[in-house]
Chains A and B, each alone.
Chain A
Amino acid sequence: MKKVNLLLVLVMIAALALSACGGGSSKLKIGLVTDVGGVNDKSFNQSAWAGVEKAAKEFGWDAQYIESKQPTDYEKNIDQFATENYDVIVTVGFMMGDATAAKAKQYPKIKFAIIDNAYFPTKDSKACDDTAKDCYADGGLKNVTSLMFQEDQVGFLAGVLAGGMSKTGTICSVAGMEIPPVVRFVVGYQNGAKWIKPETNTLNVYVPSFIDPAKGKETGVSMIGQGCDVIFGVGGNTGNGGLLAAKEAGLMGIGVDVDQYLTYAEVKDILLTSAAKNVDVAVYEYLKTVKSGAVKAGINTANVQNGGVGLAPYHDMDSKIPAEVKTKVDEALKGLKDGSIKTGYQP
């Protein structure tokens, strides 16, 4: 009886060990904590890890990642890196905002970078109260750099393309959780489509998960039923499910975060483009400042002006996109750059 229980415990430990990682050396150590999507999400977690790997290889650092299985893992995973004396911890995603702030205060000697979340003085916020003028400088987050992206800009460009390509005049998006980076994508996308054709009908559904392709696909199927013929998948694997719905119905899709033509072969035939956030570049640039010692707490924003966000190449669709639509996309890009076009996103 006891033996069997012991056996079960061993099986459990083995199972847990399979889902974690280890490592150790005396060089500068970079740890990355992924969101629940995991490091192979074909999307922004993967991209962030690519940036860390690139920097680590180039500068001869050690790099490790831990995948969060659920939101309650965030703090635990940061703790694990901290107890192993990591020098820099990169946390991926808006959802990790509170955990990162709390842990950055607990470990002031470790440098933190968080993707997609910025801190502003807010009443009763865990990160920093409204008595602070600036969360980073005097709010206690002196060791945190926020890597932000203007998703609304690249979403706008995707919307222009979608609106230009739609035959039915209805475009849609399968979105993940309703959190600021996702909302920025969606709002930009819808306004972009209306910018090129004001009568365009836009549909959107937020699915409360980033890891549910089956639900994403069903959502896509519903919107296709409503006449949508270009689907923008904005929600990790959930959004990918939306792209699968477009593929099955022989329609068009737009990827998100990375050039999904390269990372997501299943849908590459129907991808017009991807609304890319160069998370890898942003992470790499941040780690470069760590190396040079120029690292600063505060918000780094990537936008179309500095090339931090942008549409991926059209790849196979290049010949199918009419020249006038391409011209419109370029026009919108120019307008966003010089500020003559606004995406319509209000925080």
Chain B
Amino acid sequence: MDTSIRKDRLLSQKWLRTLINLGGVLLALVIAWELLNLVIGRQCDGKCITDTLSQMLRVATPIAFAAFCGVVCERAGVVDIGIEGKMLTAAMVAYAVNLFSYQWLQSMMEASAAGTLSRWLALLVGILAALLLALLHAVSSIRFKIDQIISGTVINILALGVTGYFYRQFLAENLPAGPGTFPKIVIPFLADIPVLGPILFRQQPLTYIMILLAFLLHYVLFYTPWGLRTRAVGEHPRAADTLGIDVLKMRYTNVLIGGLIAGLGGVWFTLEAVDVFNPMMTNGLGFIGLAAMIFGKWMPFGALIGALIFGLGNSLTTTVSIYRPDLPSQIPQMLPYLLTIAVLTGVVGRAAPPAADGQAYEKQ
């Protein structure tokens, strides 16, 4: 067979798969919409729909970052369940930096400029804090070949203790006023598109970064040498090594990049969602992110869709609770999980992780 035909066939199969996936998602959305209307009796009008969907995107942001972190690490063969801890640490560090650098910067410039500067500074320092934890994970699991699950758990426990301690010591009371969260960025023209505008183009910066990152990761993973090497290292490190790829270096890089991405998810809590910090405020979203990654079959867009479904479940919970106060509150609260299970069993087939996922690599 001619190679070009084979390539065409492969391509068409790929497109078909994508199409089927998209169709499945659409179908799920339609079913969800009809079920919703059964419950709330078509009370959700235009504004309520855009509100719900834009909330979906906001809630999905930290989950998507966590999922991307998982994709980047696990594609290179390193399981990272310490995402939650990294997010929590980044959230706290960003909160503290935002608050205190604002005080300091205010003496030098006007308040609004100081606010902007301190928020971006906080974002930077926050993701660097997550990077440090990622480094700990990388060194212990790649260099010292400690079981990756254990190393991740250690990071989660460490983050819980450290953030709790610093919170009690320095961040619990008598705090100065902070500069607040990132303001919304309204993209000119695009924001005026009906329905899509308010959902996609009136968001805060991290939400935009999250969407762009999905495209970037997809491109990098599947269309660059770095991506090819990453996948090779995650599937068959021995073969990659034979071809001259430095397996350990690839894994280090990926875990560290994953740490930065998890950090973005963490700073979302204190720079974009609310301008307060409290212990355990990440509330397990790091783990939900891992679920989104598995749902998305270790693909960036798949992970994004997984995060969006969970986000949608969350925002629907609120909508249903508002319109049906007579229902026991636990019923709408089950929605995100029910929706996830339904989609997982109905649309997605078997998910296979990268073959060398979770295995330490020993050079021979």
Interface residues of A (CB under 8 A from B): 1, 4-5, 8, 11-12, 14-19, 36, 38-41, 67, 69, 178, 203-206, 208-209, 211-215, 217-219, 221-223, 225-226, 237, 240-241, 244, 248, 263, 265-266
CB <8 Å contact, A213 and B55: no
Interface residues of B (CB under 8 A from A): 47-48, 51-52, 55, 58-59, 140, 144-146, 150-151, 154, 157-158, 160-162, 164-165, 167-168, 172-173, 175, 177-178, 181, 269, 273-276, 278-281, 283, 314-315, 318-319, 321-322, 325, 328-330, 333
Q: Knowing A211-B279, A225-B47, A266-B276 touch, does A12 contact B158 (C-beta < 8 A)?
A: yes
CB <8 Å contact, A244 and B276: yes
Q: Quick one: which of A1, A39, A203, A217 contacts B322, CB cutoff 8 A?
A: A203
Q: How far is the CA of A209 from the CA of B146 in the complex (A)?
A: 34
Q: Quick one: which of B58, B154, B178 contacts A218, CB cutoff 8 A?
A: B58
CB <8 Å contact, A4 and B278: no
Q: How far is the CA of A16 from the CA of B51 in the complex (A)?
A: 41
Q: How far is the CA of A12 from the CA of B152 in the complex (A)?
A: 12
CB nearest neighbor in B for A70: B280
Q: Which residues of A contact B160 (CB under 8 A)?
A: 15, 19, 69
Q: How far is the CA of A222 from the CA of B177 in the complex (A)?
A: 26
CB <8 Å contact, B161 and A204: no
CB <8 Å contact, B48 and A213: no
CB <8 Å contact, A40 and B276: no
Q: Knowing A38-B279, A213-B281 touch, does A218 contact B177 (C-beta < 8 A)?
A: no
Q: Which residues of A contact B318 (CB under 8 A)?
A: 205, 218-219, 222
Q: How far is the CA of A241 from the CA of B181 in the complex (A)?
A: 13
Q: How far is the CA of A212 from the CA of B279 in the complex (A)?
A: 10
B264: shortest Cβ distance to chain A, in Å? 15
Q: How far is the CA of A178 from the CA of B172 in the complex (A)?
A: 27
B247: shortest Cβ distance to chain A, in Å? 20
CB <8 Å contact, B281 and A40: no
Q: How far is the CA of A288 from the CA of B178 in the complex (A)?
A: 40
Q: Quick one: which of B51, B59, B274, B329 contacts A208, CB cutoff 8 A?
A: B329
CB <8 Å contact, A226 and B275: no
Q: How far is the CA of A141 from the CA of B205 in the complex (A)?
A: 55
A290: shortest Cβ distance to chain B, in Å? 27
CB <8 Å contact, A222 and B322: yes
Q: Quick one: which of A14, A205, A217 contacts B321, CB cutoff 8 A?
A: A205
Q: How far is the CA of A178 from the CA of B269 in the complex (A)?
A: 24
- Return 10 A-B CB contacts under 8 Å, by A number: A4-B146, A8-B140, A38-B278, A38-B279, A41-B278, A205-B329, A213-B274, A215-B283, A222-B55, A237-B278
CB <8 Å contact, B283 and A8: no
Q: How far is the CA of A36 from the CA of B160 in the complex (A)?
A: 13
CB nearest neighbor in B for A4: B144
Q: Knowing A38-B279, A212-B281, A237-B281 touch, does A217 contact B325 (C-beta < 8 A)?
A: no
Q: Knowing A12-B158, A211-B281 touch, does A244 contact B275 (C-beta < 8 A)?
A: yes
CB <8 Å contact, B178 and A266: yes
CB nearest neighbor in A for B325: A204
Given contacts A12-B154, A265-B175, 12 further A-B contacts (CB under 8 A): A5-B146, A12-B157, A19-B165, A36-B280, A38-B164, A178-B328, A205-B322, A212-B283, A213-B276, A222-B315, A222-B318, A266-B177
CB <8 Å contact, B157 and A15: yes
A339: shortest Cβ distance to chain B, in Å? 28
B319: shortest Cβ distance to chain A, in Å? 7
Q: How far is the CA of A11 from the CA of B153 in the complex (A)?
A: 12
Residue of A15, A16, A208 ringed by the most chain B CB atoms within 10 A: A15
CB <8 Å contact, B157 and A208: no
CB <8 Å contact, A211 and B154: no
Q: Which residues of B contact A221 (CB under 8 A)?
A: 51, 55
Q: Which residues of B contact A212 (CB under 8 A)?
A: 281, 283
* 5 nearest CB pairs, A to B: A15-B161, A40-B172, A206-B329, A214-B273, A18-B161
Q: How far is the CA of A248 from the CA of B275 in the complex (A)?
A: 11
CB <8 Å contact, B177 and A40: no
Residue of B47, B279, B314 ringed by the most chain A CB atoms within 10 A: B279
Q: Quick one: which of B47, B151, B162, B167 contacts A8, CB cutoff 8 A?
A: B151
Q: Which residues of A contact B157 (CB under 8 A)?
A: 12, 15-16
CB <8 Å contact, B161 and A14: yes
A163: shortest Cβ distance to chain B, in Å? 17
Q: Quick one: which of B145, B154, B278 contacts A213, CB cutoff 8 A?
A: B278
Residue of A203, A215, A241 ringed by the most chain B CB atoms within 10 A: A215
